[in-house]
Structure 1
């Protein structure tokens, strides 16, 4: 299409838009992103220019793109240039919140935004942007007193060293740079969160204005450190803890009640033995909570966590609690116990449970002598779901990005099809199962219908099959069973891959193998030439 044709189409579209009332036009434009509205319609004609200057379209701007799987990218240079040179100077006094990506951040923030109170900075790299978060910087000097809400999303760079220390320094500096900060979300743009820690050399920082904090910390003691009174106006804390050690200490001067805290979210995906010793006592300090969210993996000494435990230790202690969401996977050692609870027994303990639909899934693994109980409130709103077994009840979650599968019974083809449908935006998948499939024919094309569908993972970027039987490597690499996306990173045992691909000659696995961006081969130090030829577009690690 040439420029003349584009102008004719644009003119025709404008005539159609002008036929609509202001109310209808605003209703339609609100369906678009504000940056799209401003870029397309500002300056087109007087009427549209007046409409797009409304605060509906100018108060909150996101000058970046976010894909369906949460990847953030800058706008094109052509679009950004128009914003720098024309749009932002014209509406700068109307902008109250800006979300920007790191590559365009300094150019955008060099402008004057007198009414800006909220700022989101995404895809930051500590090494290249740390200078922006020091006193005396023009960026912080201009906005020192006016920024009330701040989101900072750090991009993971595996080449960086001492990243935790640098994150911690940046985090503590924010409270001296933005003196009126009320909301802070200090997060990572990666599945793998980047943590801060205060244990080695605790810094001194306080805030008498902070009301809500989102942060990832290294240990349980770091969480206690945040609750020692330095944020005396804190009403909501969302904390992701890397590890809750059973030997973490309850700081003697940090056992006071927290009556002002109304909302608490605690996430820790690593198994902990300290539920009764550390987590429950901390929750008892928060007796005025109105909203509670727990994501925990608990190693129990005697009994699995069920509804009765949650009622006794949590709900009955929090009379003002009106929303309780949880995702708890508890395990117990099997030592010839009798009367082990069934899934029905666990589900019964949630009868008359307030406010939520509760799902339970109970498994007993005889080989590793372990019982597992996964209980969660539905709909499932967390980013990770681990150790899913054949008893997985299904259900769709658009939030999950990371999944791990484990069982001592084989996974058949339909199980993987169910996983692909339940987690449509999955990015990272790990499979642990050494049992061969019973029905390898169920994924082949024939006249039946239930087992014929190909499993699709359009957003998958990491696949770990290092502890998987050959049948599951075949399940993912044969293109009549699974459709893999391009640019996938695969970890797999070399000998197992050699068997599945028939010494790297099979045409059944060739199409999916061509899609691999990188391949980690476990147990092989020298890669033969014919292996490299089988993966022509793949970096073999």
Structure 2
């Protein structure tokens, strides 16, 4: 039987497009542009392959983001971009290659720019009037997305708030005059230094074009300032606030925010200003259609429930059709306070039409109680102060978790955690109760009464505990498997004891990939220490508050 050779170019253009568009467009252009013939190159200039160019790669082992192979970038700059630059509308890249890629063509249709691994120094180097790229930044870019890698957890002389605001935020807000959408997001759980209005000239925050803003700010003052009429066309506002206080340092405009259609407020730190400040802000958003709220409350006399939310906020938003929320309330209790149940809290939400909710109420330390209530499915990536009582649901988006209790967490509790939080990357365990456990009887090296717990994505483990039981539990390879763990925070004395002065083989495996160690006590480690942690890069000490 005769067989004919069928080449890729022999296929009809429609079939070729169907095949090629299922592949990564960067690889398609890199492998095929200029290789076959001019007719095929014309096909590759289709918008499917040239609209958006993503020069970023994400590590499969630790989620680190970096540029793709420099050889691919070289070929694009020399051979490919000069042929397709006029089609490109969106570029995704790192600052270190931005200038090289942008000078490879004219990009008359480029309007969107996404930068990963962005930081203060990137702004100083590129976002200036002296930059050869200033025309593109000033006149063309209408959408700017920055993933900021500067870390507010390590504040030093180089990254003080005032200096950071002037060097980073001022550069961005001054240069990009044509922005319609600005998003600055953090790359880790330790957010980048927040925007502080007090550190910037009053004329900087002003735009008649901006319709979407996603930003991390220092205080409620900064949030309110942005809503004081300086951004007249703003319809989507996504804000994370570091602290929400009752005392404001600026007198703000209190007019209704009639243009605002979508508002998202996140505050990870506890606040007692919800009733005085947040509710009054919500009441100004009469035309709001979508509301997202993540907030942790303290110093209230009662839990926030559906009845309260409806009366104080939601009933004033007649256009609202989507409400996604997580509300945690910590209260002081005594014998005179009625103890409400989880069913009662959920019923108050059902009464106002929110049937997809979940709730946990925990009474602890005799005089304290905490309530977590949230919409389903759980859409947020962070969850804190969870006890051994939490709903039997899957938290698909949570990457950061803090578990807290005054009793010992058993092995089956961590089995539940691993199943309920399948994408967990950062785990903090806070348990200040001294557990009188004889670890000699807990020789789990040779006793395996349970299956090994798999934390496949965990990269950071913080053991804020007074007993070494949890160190033993997580480092023993016969109890727990943490193949991607790169950061460990704990007491040095616990680590030394559990690893038997860094000689114990059964704890060595879970320490093999650790790059950063932080100790809550004095750390004078032996010479064998580096052999136990072969890729260790940083050792630090800090006080446990």
Normalising by structure 1, what TM-score? 0.89
Q: Distance in 1 between matches of 2:230 and 2:430?
A: 44
Q: Offset of 1:22 from its aligned partner? A: 4.2
Q: Distance in 1 between matches of 2:297 and 2:532?
A: 44
CA 1:366–1:40: 2 relative to 1, 3 Å:
same
Q: Distance in 1 between matches of 2:225 and 2:466?
A: 41
In structure 1, the partner of 2:24 is 33
Q: Distance in 2 between matches of 1:385 and 1:240?
A: 15
In structure 2, the partner of 1:101 is 94
Q: Offset of 1:167 from its aligned partner? A: 4.3
In structure 2, the partner of 1:71 is 64
In structure 2, the partner of 1:130 is 124
SS in 1 for 2:198: coil
2:162 pairs with 1:165: yes
2:149 pairs with 1:151: no
Please, which runs of 5 or more residues in structure 1 have no aligned partner? 1-13
Deviations 1:105-151 (CA, angstroms, capped at 9, x unpaired): 11012231001111112212312541321224221124422211111
Q: Distance in 1 between matches of 2:221 and 2:207?
A: 19
Q: Distance in 1 between matches of 2:302 and 2:254?
A: 27
Q: Distance in 2 between matches of 1:447 and 1:537?
A: 29
SS in 1 for 2:350: coil
Q: Offset of 1:398 from its aligned partner? A: 4.0
Question: In the alignment, is the contact (CA less than 8 A) between 1:156 and 1:190 conserved in 2?
Answer: no
Q: Offset of 1:202 from its aligned partner? A: 4.5
SS in 1 for 2:133: helix
Q: Offset of 1:163 from its aligned partner? A: 4.7
Q: How does 1:319-468 map to 2 (within 5 A)?
A: 319-354=318-353, 357-366=356-365, 369-435=367-433, 436=435, 451-452=450-451, 454-468=452-466
Range moving further from structure 2, 327-336 or 90-99: 327-336
Q: Distance in 2 between matches of 1:393 and 1:423?
A: 12
Question: In the alignment, is the contact (CA less than 8 A) between 1:172 and 1:203 conserved in 2?
Answer: no
Question: In the alignment, is the contact (CA less than 8 A) between 1:171 and 1:186 conserved in 2?
Answer: no
Q: Offset of 1:83 from its aligned partner? A: 0.8
Question: In the alignment, is the contact (CA less than 8 A) between 1:412 and 1:437 conserved in 2?
Answer: no
2:300 pairs with 1:301: yes
Range moving further from structure 2, 429-438 or 357-366: 429-438
Q: Distance in 2 between matches of 1:346 and 1:48?
A: 63
CA 1:323–1:497: 2 relative to 1, 3 Å:
same
Q: CA RMSD in A?
A: 2.9
CA 1:142–1:511: 2 relative to 1, 3 Å:
closer
In structure 1, the partner of 2:509 is 511
Question: In the alignment, is the contact (CA less than 8 A) between 2:445 and 2:506 conserved in 1?
Answer: no
Q: Distance in 2 between matches of 1:43 and 1:421?
A: 49
In structure 1, the partner of 2:543 is none
Q: Distance in 1 between matches of 2:381 and 2:82?
A: 39
Q: Offset of 1:343 from its aligned partner? A: 1.3
Q: Offset of 1:399 from its aligned partner? A: 3.0
Deviations 1:300-330 (CA, angstroms, capped at 9, x unpaired): 4211111212212222110100111011111
Question: In the alignment, is the contact (CA less than 8 A) between 1:165 and 1:196 conserved in 2?
Answer: no
**One of 32, 38, 42 as aligned partner of 2:33:** 42
Question: In the alignment, is the contact (CA less than 8 A) between 2:397 and 2:423 conserved in 1?
Answer: yes
Q: Distance in 2 between matches of 1:266 and 1:224?
A: 12
Q: Offset of 1:498 from its aligned partner? A: 3.1
Q: Offset of 1:36 from its aligned partner? A: 2.1
Question: In the alignment, is the contact (CA less than 8 A) between 2:56 and 2:93 conserved in 1?
Answer: yes
Range moving further from structure 2, 20-29 or 70-79: 20-29
Question: In the alignment, is the contact (CA less than 8 A) between 2:165 and 2:199 conserved in 1?
Answer: no
SS in 2 for 1:98: strand
Please, which runs of 5 or more residues in structure 2 have no aligned partner? 541-545
Range moving further from structure 2, 17-26 or 134-143: 17-26
Deviations 1:221-250 (CA, angstroms, capped at 9, x unpaired): 00011011111111111011001123235x
